Structure 1
Amino acid sequence: MKNLVLILVISALFTGVNFAQLKSDLAGNIIKVEDLPAERDLSINDFSFQQSSNGFINAQQTVPGVAFLSSAILPGSAQAANGKWARAGVYLAVEAFSIFYYINRNNVAKDQERAYEAFTHQEWSVVAYSQWLIGYYDNNGLSHDKLDQLRTMVGGLDPDFSDTRNDWNRVNINLLQEIERETDLVCGTCGSGDFSHVLPAYGSQQYYELISKYYQFEGGWSDFYAENVAVNNPNYNYLYDNKGDLASPLFLLGAERADRFNNNYRRAGNILNLLVINHVVSAFDALFSVKLKNAQVQASANMMRPDSFSLTLHF
């Protein structure tokens, strides 16, 4: 009798230990076993999915809006949280490349722009251009009531091609612009009208752009000035060069250098479009991925009806 009681006690203890171990094994992140009242049977409602202990990662995995915002801010982040490593890697790689390329092209463009500006400070002078404009008036029989003021201002001056920024203080830009606005076009095929542009404010972005873009300003370049204006070249007729037939090598070089840094600025701007696209695509990819996963989980849960659910426990 004592042996029987001892066997029953040992069996009860062994069964209790194994059931406790089973509860421990099942009580992870996937299934939870609840203590049940003795008066009812085990059902599917006693088992539930347990969320990750990390609230933000769990939200990226289960809440479409959070996944959307996460990948919109950092492309690939929600994909990584959901274990989509290949897609996360693609989005992050595109992001890293785009940022690097933008910074690189922008820095290159700035360096080229500064070099171009330094180039113009040695090769284009507003004094030279003003003297060309006076010659244009004189040789084409034109008149302007302010022309003599400009003539007095620059007459007898030599352009300072060591640093043409010094010439900015020698020519009143407002006076020059007033004359330019009322200057007639005189050329073989350009028809009637006035100059299409005026010299922008000294040192402005437009100033540097226009002097190597429009043939109207070719008279300010040092090689053109030296060949035609400074020596009063009798073979130069001072007609408006609307086709660039007389554009000097320095004018063309300036145009090429300006085009070079502008192209790099455009490339940097274009890569920003890729950055935006990468953020948008990654965000919507994360949104739809989480929605699809949630729909699949819901469909699976609906299939697990209590009347078709069975659980086998092995002790």
Structure 2
Amino acid sequence: MKSFRSTAMLVVICLFGAVHAGDAPEIPGKETLLYRQKVKSELAKAVQAEAAGSQSVPGSKSIARAVLFSAAVPGTGQLYAGAYLKAGFFLLTEIAGWAVNIHYNNLGNDKDREFRQFADEKWSEYRYWSYINYRNSQLANPKIPVYPYREVKSPFNKTWFLIDENVFGPDVVDQLRQIENDFPHFTHILPRTKTQQYYEMIGKYPEQFGNAWEDADFNEFYSGFEKRVTPYNQTYTDMRNASNHFFDIAGYGSMALLINHVISAIDAGFSTRSYNRRLLQMTYRNQYYRGELVNMLGLAINL
């Protein structure tokens, strides 16, 4: 490896760092050497810090550019600075983060479609509004006129009281919506469309929506607090929880990606500064300058 000495830098350093023998304390020889060594160390740190940040040093690299590289793609700033092991670590972390995010998002979406299909098959708005009508019929003073209904045995030998199909329709639903929250523990309004909130409520609040599951009985009172729900309701809840769990893990992957970008960008700056400092080599010796013994501090740049 070749090296050259910058004459201009050397002159500046000599003028700044020269320690006249007469300027040093008149103390024994050993302490004089320690004093000079301290001066050398302090000057070396100052010169290295200044030179390492200078773009005028041949072969030096831009810290700002390295930071931007790694902020965009973790590890690329380290590659730019020649820190190949760290570059590999940040790149592999980036790949792992994306793999976790994509994989668990796909699992979450699959489970989401699965529980929606299950709900569409096992939970019925017709049974729900029939249950509202039945509860209204049990009041001493019904809040609205009771629609005609018939008793039906479900496939699970449960009892339903379903509104006459010849009567049931949008107008009936609109009337029943007026009393939807007039019963104990009925605190929600069923959305008119099958939104995310729709699918959340029918499983989360069995006190209100539990009687509309296919394996429910209109004469039973279900409770989420007491864990008294139908098997279908429980299966549906477990499926939704699994979907949310997958999405949570995907979120952890996203968080890891963000952290990886930030840490990689910061490290790229330090790695580039270290690279620039390795280009520099400090030299030190005592020699006579204009007839006086001085400490000579030199800077060699390795190319």
Q: TM-score, normalised by structure 2?
A: 0.65
Aligned to 1:156: 164
Q: Which moved more, 1:198-207 or 1:276-285?
A: 198-207
Question: How far 1:142 sits from its partner (Å)?
Answer: 5.8
Q: Is the 8 A contact 1:136 1:239 kept in 2?
A: no
Task: Look up the SS of the partner of 1:223 in the other structure.
Answer: coil
Give 1 or 2: higher strand fraction: 2
The within-5 A match list for 1:158-173 is: none
Unaligned runs of 5+ in 2: 11-55, 150-161, 290-295
8 Å contact from structure 1 (residues 31, 50) kept in 2? no
Counterparts of 1:201 and 1:304 in 2: how far apart (Å)?
A: 87
CA-CA distance at 1:132 after TM superposition: 1.2
Tell me how far 1:150 sits from its aligned partner: 10
The correspondence for 2:197, drawn from 206, 215, 220, is 206
Distance 1:43 1:148, change over 3 A: closer
Cα distance, 1:79–1:177 mapped onto 2, change above 3 Å:
farther
Q: What SS class does the counterpart of residue 270 from structure 1 fall into?
A: helix
Structure 1 length-normalised TM: 0.62
Take 1:121 and 1:43, find their aligned partners in 2: how far apart are those partners? 80
Aligned residues of 1:127 and 1:170 also touching (Cα < 8 A):
no
Matches within 5 A, 1:160-309: 175-181=175-181, 183-185=182-184, 195-215=186-206, 216-224=208-216, 228-229=217-218, 236=219, 239=221, 241=223, 243-244=225-226, 246-294=228-276, 300=281
**CA 142–286 in structure 1, closer or farther in 2 if over 3 Å, else same:** farther
Aligned-residue offset at 1:179: 2.2
Q: Provide, for residues 133-189 of structure 1, a one-character-per-residue CA deviation record: whole Å limited to 9, x for no partner.
A: 2222223446324x64798xx72139xxxxxxxx9x7577655443223x131xxxx
What is the letter of the counterpart of residue 67 of structure 2? F
Identity level (%): 25
Structure 1 unaligned spans of 5+: 1-25, 33-41, 52-60, 159-166, 186-193, 230-235
Query: Which AA in structure 1 matches 2:183?
Result: D
Deviation, 1:284, is: 0.5
Aligned residues: 233
| 2:30 matched residue in structure 1 | none
Which sits farther off after the overlay, 67-76 or 171-180?
Answer: 171-180
Per the alignment, do residues 267 and 87 of structure 1 end up closer, same or farther by CA in structure 2, a change over 3 Å counting? same
User: What is the match of residue 80 of structure 1?
Assistant: 79
1:65 to 2:64 alignment = yes
What displacement does 1:303 show?
Answer: 6.4
Residues 119 and 294 from structure 1, CA distance in 2 versus in 1: closer, same or farther, beyond 3 angstroms?
same
Letter in 2 for 1:199: L
Q: CA RMSD in A?
A: 3.7
Structure with more helix by fraction: 1
For the residues of structure 1 that align with 2:57 and 2:224, how far apart are their CA atoms? 78
Q: Could you tell me whether the CA contact under 8 Å between 1:106 and 1:264 is conserved in 2?
A: yes
Amino acid at match of 1:276: L
Find the counterpart in structure 1 of residue 14 from structure 2. none
Shift of 1:62: 1.9
1:265-286 Cα distance to aligned partner (Å, 9 max, x none):
1111121111000000000111
Using the alignment, how far apart are the partners of 1:304 and 1:197 within structure 2?
85
